[in-house]
Structure 1
Amino acid sequence: MKERFKNIPLVKNETKKRFEMEVDGYFAFINYGEIGNQIALVHTEAAPELSGTGAASAVVEKTLHWLGQNNKTLLPFCPYVFAYIKKNPQWKRIVDKRFNAYDKL
């Protein structure tokens, strides 16, 4: 994660059902669904003003840390999150082993 994002807090916005991070007045976020101990990450997005800054990657990393710290099991339906985990296999440990594409991570 780029240094500029390290001290920006991650917010679990339960009203909007997204993990979000505000950068210079713009948001990078991941939509989620939650059932019990499982959280499905379904879509990652960053405002166009944040394009190319690494904000999307930072919100993914912060969200994965949050999931790990809160003993949640991940279902990475979002292609961006899936690709991030594939590049950073240490995060596979929080993915539910029953996830359909688990063996592709």
Structure 2
Amino acid sequence: MEYQLINNKEKKRYEFNIDGEIAHVDYMLARGNIYLTHTEVPSSLGGQGIGSKLIKSVLTDVKENTAFKLFPLCPFVAAYIKKHTEWKAILSELVNVE
């Protein structure tokens, strides 16, 4: 199933609204970089791969719609990039997710 990614700039987070439940990735913007700081999926949505779908959508948005370099401070995001190495191209040169 596909979900619509929402960039909630007021709350500084990317969101999926799934039947009134919000899965989200918090971010900070500084010095031309985007820092993904925290991923949260409500327990009622757990075990469905929503976190991974959310991260993939966020990374796609960062790649296609921004000039930001990525700092994955969230361990879930870093683990996703480690598994899906095609996303390393949008990382800041200061980041190592080996």
How far the C-alpha of 1:62 sits from its partner, in A, is 0.2
Corresponding letter in the other structure for 1:84: Y
- Letter aligned with residue 9 of structure 1: Q
Q: What amino acid is the match of 2:38?
A: H
Compute the TM-score of the two structures, normalised by the length of structure 1.
0.87
Of 77, 81, 84, 2:80 maps to 84
Question: How many Å separate the matches in 2 of 1:23 and 1:93?
Answer: 30
Q: What is the aligned-residue identity percentage?
A: 35
Q: Tell me how far apart the structure 2 counterparts of residues 37 and 64 of structure 1 sit (CA, whole Å).
A: 16
Query: Is the counterpart of residue 21 in structure 1 residue 19 in structure 2?
Result: no
TM-score by length of 2: 0.92
How far did residue 14 of structure 1 move? 1.1
Give ranges in structure 1 of 5+ residues lacking alignment.
none
Gaps of at least 5 residues in structure 2 are none
**Aligned AA (1:19):** Y
Alignment of 1:18-97 (within 5 A): 18-70=13-65, 71-97=67-93
Could you say what secondary structure the match of 2:93 adopts? Answer: coil
